[in-house]
Amino acid sequence: MLRTEPMQKIRILLLESEREKCIEFLHRQGLVDFRRSKLELGEVQQQSLNEISNALIRVNGALHILKPQEVRPMRHIHLTELASRVRDAKFIDRVFAIGDRRREIHEDESALNYSEKVAGYFSGMGVDFSRLQSEHLAFRAALFDRKDADKVVDRLKGSKIKSSVSTREIDKRSVLIFIAYQKDRSIDEIIKDFKAEEIDLKSKYLQGTTDHALALVKKTREAFAHEMGSMEKEIAELSAKHYSELANYREMLEIESQRSAANSNFKKTERVFVVEGWVPAKKYEDFVVALKGFTKNKFNIEKIHDGELAPSLVKRPKFLQPFDFLMEFYSVPRSDEIDPTWIFIVSFPIFYGLMVSDVGYGIASLLFATWITKKTNPEGIMYNSAKIWQLNSVAAMVFGFLSNQYFGFQLNQYFINFTAFDWVKNATTILLLTIVFGLVQVILGFIFSFINNWHKKGHRKAAISKLTSIITILLGIVAVYGFFTGASYMLPFGIAMFIFLIVTGALSGIEASEITNLMTHPLSYARILGFGLASIIIAMLIDNAFTPNFHSGVLGFILLLVVFVLLHFVNMILGIFEGLIQGVRLNFVEFFSKFYVGGGIKFRPFGYKRVHTEE
C-alpha cells in the first residue's frame, strides 16, 4: 500500500511484416509504457506523420468554426481512406472560406467604428474627406489636451510653415485640431511634443462629407449584418450535417498520430522489430496470453532486469485521486521508494480539521470548495485542490463538533451532552498531543528513510543513521522529561543522546547539517495548537462583543449583524488559509524531508480511450 504498483520491463520481438497490426494491438491493450531500445539495430521510421498532422490541422480548424453538435459514433477508418476523405472534403474548404470572411468583417467592423467616431468629430466643420488629396497641401488631425490647444495653435502660427488651423472641442478634456499645411514640410515634432492622439484620415469609409461618410458606415454595417446572418445560417447547416463526422475524424487522426509516433521507440532487423517497455507486473501474464492469441504464438517475449528505474503507477479510489494530482504537482513518487501519499491523505485533513476546528467554518468552507469544483476545469490544480479541501472541511466539522465550536458558540448541550476537548481548558494536553503527533510522524519518516536507503547500493551508512536519529529523539524525550520532573536518569539519558547525536552526524555525512531538525521538527507541530487556539479565541471574542441584539434598536441590530458576519468571515478566511498552508507544510517539510526523494517517472502506457469512434 505504501509503494507504487510493481512494474516489469519487457522486450518483445514481433514480425516486421505485421508491425502496423501489432502497433494497433498494443494501442488497444494500453498496457505498455514504451522505452527506446538500446540494442544496436536499425531504426524504424515514423510513417505518414506529416500527412496525419496536415489532416489534423484541417479538421481542428473546421471544428473550431463549426458549432458543437451531438456526435454519432463511427467505425474506425483506415488511415489511407481517412486522409483522402479529409483532403477531398469540399465542405471543409467552404467552412474555411466562411471563417476567413467572418474575420475580414470583424476587422472591417473595427474600421467602421473608428470611421464613425472620426466623422462625428468633424461633423459641422464642412470637411470633405474626398478632397484631402492635394499636390501642394498635407492634412493632419489630432486630439490635444484642452490646456495645450492654444499653445499648439500659437506654435503653428509662429512657425515658418504655412498652415490653416481649425479647432473643435470634443469633450471637457480634448480638442480636435485639423491642420492643412505645406506638403513639403513636417509638423511631426509639434504633434509629438504635445503627446497628441493622431487621427487616421485615410480610412476607406471616410468618403465625401461627414454626412456621406456616416451614411456609408451605416449602409456598410447593415450589409455586414445581413451577410453575417447568412453565414451563421450556413454554418449552422454545415454543423448539423458535418460536425459529428469531423469529430470522429479528429479522434481517428489522433489515434493514428499516436501509432505513427510510436515507431520512433522501436528498433528492427530485416524480419523482426523490437518493442521494449514497462507493464504492470500483475498484468504481465494476461498480456502475454492476449499477445499469444493475437500473433498466433509468433512472437518472443523476455523480462529485462537492467537496473532502469521503473515508472510509477498508483491506484486509489477516485475521490482520493486529487491527492495524487497534488503529489504529482509537487513531485512524482519514485518506484523504488515509499509512496507517502496515504500518510498525507490521513494526516492533512487531521491537521486542517484541528486548526480550523469549527462546525460553522467547516460548513462554509465545504460550500465554497464545492462551488470551486463547479466552476473549474477537472484537470486543473484549482479543481483538485478544492476536492481535497472538501474532505478537509468535513474534518473541520468533525473536530468542531468534538470541541463544541459553532462560529465560536458552544451548542452541543442543546442536542447532546458531549464535548471531547476544550481548546482553552485543555490547551496543555492538546499541545502535548500535537508534539506527540509530530514525534510519531517524524520517527515514521526516519523509518521510511531507513527502508528506502537499506536496499540501495552504498547507502547502508545513511540507512543506519536514520535508526540512530530515532534513538537520539527518543533519548532526548526521556532526558527532557527527566529534567522537568527532577528524575535522576536525566543525566545518563542526556549523555547517551549526545553520543547518538554525534554518531548520527558521522554516519549521515552531508546530511549532518540537518541534525538540528531532530528536535525542532517535532516541536514545529505545536503550531497546530497555536493556530487552532487563536482562531477559536478570536471567534469567541467576536461573539462576546458583536453578537446582534435588539437592545440598540433595529438599526443597531443591523449594524452589529454586518460587523458580526464580516469579522467571522475574516477569521474564517484566516483560519482556512493557515489550515491549508500549515497542513501542507507539516507534511512536505517536516515529514517528507526525512525520506522523500521524488522525481519519479509517471507510468504513461501506449493507449487511447475512445470517446466517439469504434474499432
Q: In Å, what is the CA distance from 483 to each residue of 98, 471, 490?
A: 85, 18, 6
**DSSP character for 4?**
P
pLDDT at site 456 = 78
- Split at pLDDT 50, 70, 90, the class of 99 is very high
The pLDDT tens digits for 508-522 are 765 555 566 666 777
The pLDDT tens digits for 213-228 are 999 999 999 999 999 9
Q: Among 52, 72, 56, 54, which residue's Cα sits nearest to residue 64?
A: 56
Positive or negative, the Cα torsion across 89, 95, 97, 103?
A: negative
SS (H, E, C) 218-244: HHHHHHHHHHHHHHHHHHHHHHHHHHH
The pLDDT tens digits for 107-116 are 999 999 999 9
Extract the C-alpha cell encoding 611. 470517446
For the chain, the domains span 133-200, 321-400+426-594
The fraction of the chain above a pLDDT of 90, given in percent, is 49
Cβ–Cβ contacts within 10 Å for residue 129, how many? Answer: 22
pLDDT at site 240 = 95
Q: Among 303, 343, 530, which residue's Cα sits nearest to residue 427?
A: 530
Extract the C-alpha cell encoding 262. 510510436
Mean predicted confidence (pLDDT) in 166-182:
90
Mean predicted confidence (pLDDT) in 461-475:
83
Extract the C-alpha cell encoding 467. 535508526
Q: CA torsion, points 330, 335, 337, 342, in degrees to nearest 10?
A: 60
pLDDT at site 515 = 61
The pLDDT tens digits for 397-415 are 999 999 999 998 888 888 8
Question: Of 3.40.710.10, 3.90.180.10, 3.30.70.1150, 3.30.470.20, which CATH number belongs to 133-200?
Answer: 3.30.70.1150
Evaluate if residue 457 carries a pLDDT over 60. yes
Q: Among 195, 206, 223, which residue's Cα sits nearest to residue 123?
A: 206
C-alpha span between 431 and 354 (Å, rounded): 12
SS (H, E, C) 401-458: HHCCCECCECCHHHCCCCCCCCCCCCHHHHHHHHHHHHHHHHHHHHHHHHHHHHCCCC
C-alpha span between 243 and 248 (Å, rounded): 9
C-alpha span between 441 and 521 (Å, rounded): 10
C-alpha span between 61 and 55 (Å, rounded): 10
- Split at pLDDT 50, 70, 90, the class of 163 is confident
